[in-house]
Amino acid sequence: MNKLLLFISLVGTISAKDVSHEWESFLQEKYTPEVKTADSYRNYTTEAPESVQQFYHDNHINQTLAFVLKKKATYSSLDKAQMSIWDVMDYLDSLVDESDPDLGLPQSIHAYQTAEALRKDGHPRWLILTGFIHDLGKVLAKFGEPQWAVVGDIYPVGCKPHKKVVYSEYFADNPDSDSPLYHSKYGIYKPGCGFRNVHFSWGHDHYLYTVLKDHLPEQALYIIRYHSFYAAHREGAYTYLMDDYDKEMIKWLTLFSQYDLYSKDPESFDVAFLRPYYEELVAEFLPETLRW
């Protein structure tokens, strides 16, 4: 058992940040080409940290259609706070400061790394901005949401979970598995209905999409809304729920995920030097404050 897991088991609680960090490290190992081998494909479920497995158990048994609809109703009113992008970025960093900084990079460093990698490759300004802000929906933790309703992979609810969803075996204990309708291939949906007509497990993707939906280009919103939908954009699952729009747009998810996973790089950034560029970029697309 590594030091982090020992600490977690002693304390008896796992913060959203710990799971977020471990999950993202796990994703990086699973999907980064240099470390992906046939063996790691076969064994990843048992090699993942125990906290990640526990996290997915909690996530998969609790994310029912009823739960998702309740969260959408709670958060669609955007009446929880009025904050700037920078307020949220600072808040997410303060979560990391609460424990050992060696355990994970602050969220803002992940933001700068993702955005700088996009910038270095000459991508358009809206895409650099998307990289910079894509994880800010994790502010849900500030509003008291448990980690299994903030971070991790997302997937459709109200229909049978695809085998390609990570740890799909845990869905057996989800109450929706007892419903013949919710456990059928299409569930409450029509074949080819399009992801925008599908309810997804609740987390930071859809929440940030809700906050930003009137402000960014559709490609940016699509990336923000589905960037954690690994079963589709990395595993090719759920094509039967896609419409032509998804088939056109999913290429952005594939592209983006390469930059999202390019994190945890030891290269440090001079944040003070970079900040003016990002202040200008944020101000170009977004109002000074947003409703959250």
Give least dist CB 39 to Fe ion, A.
26
Contact region for Fe ion (CB under 5 A) — 37-45, 89-97, 252-260, 268-276? 252-260
- Tokens of residue 84, six digits: 């700037």
Give least dist CB 6 to Fe ion, A.
27
Give least dist CB 177 to Fe ion, A.
26
Whichever of 18 and 135 has its CB closer to Fe ion, that residue is 135
| CB-based contacts of 69, cutoff 8 Å, min separation 6 | 199
Whichever of 189 and 257 has its CB closer to Fe ion, that residue is 257
Give least dist CB 258 to Fe ion, A.
12
Contact region for Fe ion (CB under 5 A) — 32-40, 193-201, 206-214, 257-265? 257-265
Give least dist CB 228 to Fe ion, A.
5
- Tokens of residue 56, six digits: 């997915």
82, β-bridge pairs: 291
Q: How far is CA 270 from CA 7, 91, 94, 112, 276, in A?
A: 31, 19, 18, 10, 11
Closest by CA to 111, choosing from 127, 89, 126, is 89
CA distance 206 to 221: 10
Whichever of 176 and 260 has its CB closer to Fe ion, that residue is 260
209, HSE (Cβ side, Cα atoms, 13 Å)? 19
Among 117, 230, 260, 292, binds Fe ion (CB under 5 A): 260
| CB-based contacts of 245, cutoff 8 Å, min separation 6 | 194, 196
Give least dist CB 104 to Fe ion, A.
12
Q: Is 22 in the site for Fe ion (CB under 5 A)?
A: no
Binding footprint of Fe ion, residue count (CB under 5 A): 2
Give least dist CB 12 to Fe ion, A.
26
CA distance 135 to 170: 26
Whichever of 19 and 176 has its CB closer to Fe ion, that residue is 19
Whichever of 58 and 135 has its CB closer to Fe ion, that residue is 135
Binding mask 122-151 for Fe ion (x = CB under 5 A): -------------x----------------
Whichever of 165 and 176 has its CB closer to Fe ion, that residue is 165
Closest by CA to 15, choosing from 144, 123, 171, is 144
Q: Amino acid identity, residue 118? A: L
Binding mask 212-251 for Fe ion (x = CB under 5 A): ----------------------------------------
Closest by CA to 116, choosing from 250, 275, 287, 233, is 275
Q: How far is CA 146 from CA 98, 149, 185, 222, in A?
A: 17, 6, 29, 25
Footprint of Fe ion (CB under 5 A)? 135, 260
